[in-house]
Amino acid sequence: MDSYKTLEAWKRAHAAVLLVFQATDRARHPRAFGLFDQLKRATLSVEANIVEGYALGTVGLCRRHLRIAFGSAAEAECEARAARELGYLPDPSVDEIENLLSGAMRAIYGLMISPPVIRSRHRAGSNHPPMPDSR
């Protein structure tokens, strides 16, 4: 199940998660707790929905989760911008977060056009998602 790690969308989303957690942990602004918490959740949602959509193994479910990931990335961009404008996060951190999220959104959009579905484990004609390997 490691092949989702080859997706550019996942790589950028994962890098964004790590950066957001590091940047918000360093900032520790007393009035930023709610904004930082939501920024962390939205960014983590991007990565998690890419993985979940990939794991479910059907085109429809994959696209559904990719749309959710796309929306979460847009939300996280908005929250990062607000954190910058309120002085809670420094410009270089927000610039890098926005760059990673923007790249993830472009890659997610591409995946929505051509979803990375695992067809080999899915029975032809079946409406049910594939079962995970029992390894």
Tell me how far apart the alpha carbons of residues 69 and 48 are, in angstroms, rounded to a whole number: 8
Over residues 10-41, the pLDDT tens digits come to 999 999 999 999 999 999 888 999 999 999 99
- One DSSP character per residue, 87-101 reads TSS-HHHHHHHHHHH
Count of domains for the chain: 1
Structural domain contains residue 128: no
Over residues 50-91, the pLDDT tens digits come to 999 999 988 999 999 999 999 999 999 999 999 999 999 999
Structural domain contains residue 54: yes
Range(s) of the domain holding residue 30: 2-113
Sequence-separated contacts (24+) of 71-75 with Cβ below 8 Å = 72/42, 72/43, 72/45, 72/46, 73/13, 73/42, 73/43, 73/46, 73/101, 73/104, 73/105, 73/108, 74/105, 75/38, 75/42
Structural domain contains residue 120: no
Structural domain contains residue 125: no
The closest of 68, 63, 73 to 15, measured between CA atoms, is: 73
Structural domain contains residue 15: yes
* HEC string for 29-54: CHHHHHHHHHHHHHHHHHHHHHHHHH
| CATH code of the domain containing 76 | 1.20.1440.60
Structural domain contains residue 127: no
Structural domain contains residue 132: no
Q: What's this model's pTM, rounded to 2 decimal places?
A: 0.84
